[in-house]
Amino acid sequence: MQMFLSKKYLVLLACLALCTTAFAQGPKKAATGAAVTVNGVAISDKALDQIIKSIVAQGQADTPELRKTILDELIARELFVQESAKLGLDKTPEAKEQFAQIHQNFLMDLLVNNYLKSHPITESDMRGEYDRQIAAIGDSQEYNLKQIVVPTETDAKAIIASLKKGENFESLAKDKSIDPSKSQGGNLGWVLSKQIIPAISNVIANMSKGSVSSSPIQTAAGWHVVKVEDVRPFKAPSFDESKQRLQQALLQNKRLELLKSLKDSAKIVQ
C-alpha cells in the first residue's frame, strides 16, 4: 500500500505492519472512541495511539501530519480487507495456507518474545559478544578487491595476458566473468582478510596496492584473477556503533538456545 504514503513515511510501513495486530481479532462495530469507521467497522483511537506510540519510539515525532498519514493508511488497509473478503479471496486454499504460515510465524515471534522476558539480552551480554568478536578479528587487514572468475585455467591465463597488454579490468570483468560481481566490474568492495578464503587470502597477502595476481587462483567457484585496489588496517567499530548488530546476533543465539531446549524435551520421529 505504498501508494498511500509519501516517501517520507515509507519507513514507517514495517512498524505499522507489526503494530496492526490489534485488528487481528476481527472487525468491531462503531463504538465510542472510534477514530474513524469504514463501512461500519471501527478503527479505534486506542489502536491508533498504540501504533503512534510504537512509531514515536523509532524516533518519529508525534505530529498531526503523522497521525493523518497513519490513519489514512489504516483506512486504505481496511477498505482492501473488506473488498478482499467480499470477493471471497480469503476462502481460497492458497489464502488459507498463507494464513496458516502467518499464524505460525506470529506464534513463533510471541514465544521468542516471551522467552526474552525471562532471558533478556543485557548490556553485559552485548559487551561480552563485542569483546569476543574483536578478539576473533585480531589485527586484520582490509582489502579493496576486484576479481574476474572464469571456468578454466586457460581462460584465466588469457585474462591475465590481456591485462598485461593494458586492457581494462572492469571491462574484462563485465565481459568475461561468471561471478555476480561482473555487473559491478568485478568490484567486491572492502573485505576483511579473515572473511576471504585461504586460497585467495594467501595470495593477496603478498600483493601490493594496485597489483593483479600473476597466476590464476583456483577455488570451487572457478579460476580467479584478483586485483588489490587498496589495503588498510582494519578499524573496528566502537561498542556503541555495534550495539544494534550485536543485539541481532545475540537474539539469534537466544532463539537457538530456546530451540535446543524444545528439541531436548520433544519426541521427534523421522
Q: Residue 133 has what pLDDT?
A: 86
Query: Does position 3 have pLDDT exceeding 50, yes or no?
Result: no
Least reliable range by pLDDT among 1-10, 52-61, 190-199, 223-232: 1-10
Can you give the residue range of the structural domain that contains 154?
142-233
Give me the number of domains the chain comprises: 3
pLDDT digits (tens, 9 = 90+) for 29-78: 444 567 789 999 988 888 888 888 888 888 888 898 988 888 899 899 99
CATH number for the domain spanning 165: value is 3.10.50.40
Residue 138: what are its φ and ψ, rounded to 5°? Answer: 65, -150
Nine-digit cell string for 151: 571456468
Residue 270 domain flag: no
Q: Residue 46 has what pLDDT?
A: 85
Span 15-31, average pLDDT: 45
135 band by pLDDT with thresholds 50, 70 and 90: confident
C-alpha closest to that of 83 among 147, 142, 38, 139: 38
Span 240-263, average pLDDT: 94
Span 168-174, average pLDDT: 97
Q: Residue 22 has what pLDDT?
A: 41
What does DSSP assign to residue 29? B
Q: Residue 59 has what pLDDT?
A: 83
Query: Does position 217 have pLDDT exceeding 90, yes or no?
Result: yes
Q: How far apart are CA 67 and CA 2, in angstroms?
A: 16
CA 90 to chain centre: 29
Q: Are residues 78 and 13 in the same domain?
A: yes
Q: Are residues 218 and 244 in the same domain?
A: no
Q: How far apart are CA 72 and CA 53, in angstroms?
A: 17
15 band by pLDDT with thresholds 50, 70 and 90: low
Number of other residues whose CB lies within 10 A of the CB of residue 223: 21
Q: Residue 33 has what pLDDT?
A: 64
Q: Are residues 188 and 253 in the same domain?
A: no
The model's pTM is 0.54
Q: Are residues 229 and 146 in the same domain?
A: yes
End residue of a domain, out of 21, 56, 89: 89
Residue with cell string 503494530: 19
Strands (E), 135-221: 141-150, 187-192, 217-219
21 band by pLDDT with thresholds 50, 70 and 90: very low
Q: Are residues 229 and 153 in the same domain?
A: yes
C-alpha closest to that of 197 among 213, 229, 220, 215: 220
Residue 226 domain flag: yes
Per the DSSP assignment, residues forming a β-bridge with 144 are 190, 230
C-alpha closest to that of 204 among 222, 191, 187: 191
Span 87-91, average pLDDT: 94
Least reliable range by pLDDT among 30-44, 132-146, 148-162, 186-200: 30-44
Q: Quick check: helix, strand or coil at residue 145? A: strand
Residue 269 domain flag: no
Q: How far apart are CA 48 and CA 20, in angstroms?
A: 9
Q: How far apart are CA 65 and CA 9, in angstroms?
A: 10
